[in-house]
């Protein structure tokens, strides 16, 4: 008899548990169904309420259900015009993200959006928002929307403004690096002037003068990446900033140039900044020195163009012509343009006849066109001016070339 009672109690308990589980499943399915029906009716507040109840009844939400819950809350936030209600829903969204992350379903692709909503909440957690902005911008790079750049920089500025001691110093150093990174993204993607102004404004609050900037230089140098190209780029950004703040007479500025020259000993730009050139002859001598020693073809091409440019401005037109024509790479077009200007500048003193002197302009136009630019400003107005006695070609002694007149 006692055994029978025990068996009956066990069966009853099992049936109760089974029935309860079945009831929970029915409630879970019904809540998700009602939430879906509410979305069809564009009633996202009701849908949100059902999804939140469903999270409790269903136990563990999968990725799809989390997406529906979060998406529904976002719709309410975007539609609600009552500011207090909107902030309440933002808090609901942020709490849901926290629970989703604990459940292992959070996706970092939402970092920037999450950081933005933290900043829009009733009590922003700036440190937490900063983490999401930093991680999100690093992942998105040039795909980052400009609004997130401004939010991120303001967040770091707020943390800096409320920090003390070493923490404040580290945040200043980071703000300088972030400023370079964000403005580079902004420049490359053509962001609005308002974004540039916002970044500049927060930066100038932190770095007003050399006194604010110079103490950060040593840490900046020590934090340079091991990637040589990236490190040189970072140094160039900092030197430009120091120049803009009038800090070129400081030992920190020279230390920065020394760091640059350690990475790129024959850099024309770094050497020129460290030891300013006194005259054109000095400049050309240095350029020749660096061109002979650099193994970087891009650097050599840049130096060759600089040499042509300096020679032209110094009135050394024949030398500039030869140098310009020898330019290569991305400077080939600019070099040919300098050569064209040299020919045009010397046209009236180059040739034994009016016809030959006019043909200098024809040659200048041809050089300009080879550079991919218009030669209209150099060409003779009428082709008949260039065809005396049916002469269609002429040798220009100054340049050692034969040109087809008026072609």
pLDDT score of 265: 87
Contact present, 87 and 120 (Cβ < 8 Å): yes
Run of H or E residues at 363: helix 354-370
Q: 136-140, 154-158, 283-287: which has the minimum mean pLDDT?
A: 283-287
* CA–CA gap between residue 54 and residue 60 (Å, rounded): 10
Q: Which two tokens stand for residue 262?
A: 């350690």
- β-pair partners for 401: 396
* Sign of CA pseudo-dihedral 299, 301, 303, 309: negative
Under the banding of pLDDT at 50, 70 and 90, the label for residue 7 is: very low
pLDDT score of 12: 43
Q: How many helices (H) and strands (E) does the chain have?
A: 19, 2
Instruction: Give the count of beta carbons closer than 10 Å to the beta carbon of residue 222.
Output: 9
* CA–CA gap between residue 394 and residue 251 (Å, rounded): 59
Q: 77-81, 94-98, 247-251: which has the minimum mean pLDDT?
A: 77-81
Give mean pLDDT, residues 141-163: 97
How big is the chain by its Cα radius of gyration, in Å? 35
Q: Which two tokens stand for residue 245?
A: 């703040």
Instruction: Give the count of beta carbons closer than 10 Å to the beta carbon of residue 105.
Output: 16
* CA–CA gap between residue 176 and residue 290 (Å, rounded): 32
Considering the domain boundaries, does residue 11 fall inside one? Answer: no
Q: Which of 106, 139, 161 is the last residue of a domain?
A: 106
pTM here?
0.65
CB-hemisphere CA count at 13 Å for 183? Answer: 18
Q: Is the pLDDT of residue 156 over 50?
A: yes
Under the banding of pLDDT at 50, 70 and 90, the label for residue 235 is: very high
pLDDT score of 82: 86
* CA–CA gap between residue 38 and residue 323 (Å, rounded): 74
Considering the domain boundaries, does residue 158 fall inside one? Answer: no
Give mean pLDDT, residues 127-134: 98
Number of domains forming the structure of the chain:
2
Run of H or E residues at 52: helix 44-58
Give mean pLDDT, residues 114-138: 97
Under the banding of pLDDT at 50, 70 and 90, the label for residue 374 is: confident
Q: Which two tokens stand for residue 138?
A: 């690093």
Considering the domain boundaries, does residue 359 fall inside one? Answer: yes
Q: How many residues does the chain have?
A: 407
Contact present, 142 and 185 (Cβ < 8 Å): yes
* CA–CA gap between residue 356 and residue 365 (Å, rounded): 14
pLDDT score of 38: 75
Q: Which of 60, 76, 106 is the last residue of a domain?
A: 106
Q: How far apart are the first and last CA of the chain?
A: 120
Considering the domain boundaries, does residue 142 fall inside one? Answer: no
Q: Which two tokens stand for residue 108?
A: 């970092």
Considering the domain boundaries, does residue 255 fall inside one? Answer: no
Give mean pLDDT, residues 56-74: 89
Q: Is the pLDDT of residue 1 over 60?
A: no
Q: Is 55 buried (19+), middle (13-18) or exposed (0-12) by CB count in 10 A? A: buried
Under the banding of pLDDT at 50, 70 and 90, the label for residue 23 is: low
Q: Which of 78, 106, 134 is the last residue of a domain?
A: 106
Considering the domain boundaries, does residue 188 fall inside one? Answer: no
CB-hemisphere CA count at 13 Å for 324? Answer: 29
Run of H or E residues at 358: helix 354-370
Contact present, 344 and 360 (Cβ < 8 Å): yes
Run of H or E residues at 56: helix 44-58
CB-hemisphere CA count at 13 Å for 181? Answer: 19
Distances (CA, A) of 221 to 218, 243, 246, 336, 390: 5, 17, 19, 39, 69
Of the candidates 69, 33, 25, 20, which has an alpha carbon nearest to the alpha carbon of residue 49?
Answer: 69
pLDDT score of 10: 43
Considering the domain boundaries, does residue 246 fall inside one? Answer: no
Under the banding of pLDDT at 50, 70 and 90, the label for residue 280 is: confident
Contact present, 144 and 185 (Cβ < 8 Å): yes
Considering the domain boundaries, does residue 17 fall inside one? Answer: no
Give mean pLDDT, residues 204-212: 91
Under the banding of pLDDT at 50, 70 and 90, the label for residue 407 is: low
pLDDT score of 385: 53
pLDDT score of 390: 54
**Percentage of residues in the chain having pLDDT higher than 70:** 89
Give mean pLDDT, residues 378-394: 58
Boundaries of domain holding 370: 278-407
Give mean pLDDT, residues 171-194: 92
296-306 per-position pLDDT tens digit: 899 899 999 99
**Within 223-313, where are the H helices?**
228-244, 251-263, 268-274, 280-293, 297-313
Under the banding of pLDDT at 50, 70 and 90, the label for residue 395 is: confident
- For residues 370-399, one letter each, b for 16 or more C-beta atoms within 10 angstroms of the residue's C-beta and e for the rest, the string is bbebebeebbbeeeeebeeeeeeebebebb
pLDDT score of 8: 42
Q: What is the residue-averaged pLDDT of the chain?
A: 86
């Amino acid at each position: 008899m006692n055994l029978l009672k025990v068996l009956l109690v066990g069966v009853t308990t099992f049936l109760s548990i089974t029935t309860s589980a079945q009831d929970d499943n029915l409630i879970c399915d019904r809540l998700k169904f009602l939430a879906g029906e509410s979305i069809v009716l564009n009633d996202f507040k009701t849908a949100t309420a059902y999804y939140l109840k469903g999270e409790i009844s269903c136990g563990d939400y999968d990725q799809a259900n989390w997406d529906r819950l979060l998406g529904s809350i976002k719709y309410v936030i975007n539609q609600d015009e009552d500011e207090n209600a909107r902030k309440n829903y933002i808090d609901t969204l942020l709490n849901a993200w926290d629970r989703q992350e604990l459940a292992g379903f959070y996706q970092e692709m939402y970092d920037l959006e999450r950081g933005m909503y933290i900043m829009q909440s009733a009590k922003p957690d700036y440190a937490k928002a900063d983490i999401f902005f930093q991680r999100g911008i690093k992942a998105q790079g040039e795909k980052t929307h400009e609004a997130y750049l401004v939010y991120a920089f303001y967040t770091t500025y707020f943390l800096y403004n409320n920090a003390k001691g070493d923490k404040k110093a580290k945040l200043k150093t980071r703000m300088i690096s972030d400023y370079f990174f964000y403005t580079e993204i902004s420049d490359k993607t053509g962001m609005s002037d308002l974004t540039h102004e916002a970044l500049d404004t927060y930066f100038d609050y932190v770095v007003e003068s050399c006194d604010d900037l110079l103490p950060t230089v040593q840490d900046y140098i020590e934090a340079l990446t091991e990637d040589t190209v990236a490190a040189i780029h970072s140094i160039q950004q900092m030197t430009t900033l120091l120049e803009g703040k009038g800090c070129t007479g400081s030992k920190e500025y020279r230390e920065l140039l020394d760091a640059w020259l350690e990475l790129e000993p024959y850099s024309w730009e770094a050497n020129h900044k460290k030891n300013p050139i006194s005259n054109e002859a000095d400049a050309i001598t240095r350029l020749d020195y660096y061109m002979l020693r650099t193994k970087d073809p891009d650097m050599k091409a840049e130096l060759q163009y600089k040499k042509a440019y300096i020679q032209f401005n110094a009135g050394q037109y024949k030398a500039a012509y030869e140098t310009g024509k020898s330019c290569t790479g991305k400077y080939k077009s600019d070099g040919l343009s300098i050569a064209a200007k040299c020919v045009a500048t010397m046209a009236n003193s180059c040739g034994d006849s009016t016809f030959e002197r006019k043909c200098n302009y024809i040659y200048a136009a041809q050089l300009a066109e080879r550079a991919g630019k218009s030669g209209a400003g150099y060409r003779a107005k009428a082709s008949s001016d260039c065809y005396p006695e049916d002469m269609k070609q002429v040798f220009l002694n100054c340049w050692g070339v034969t040109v087809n007149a008026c072609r």
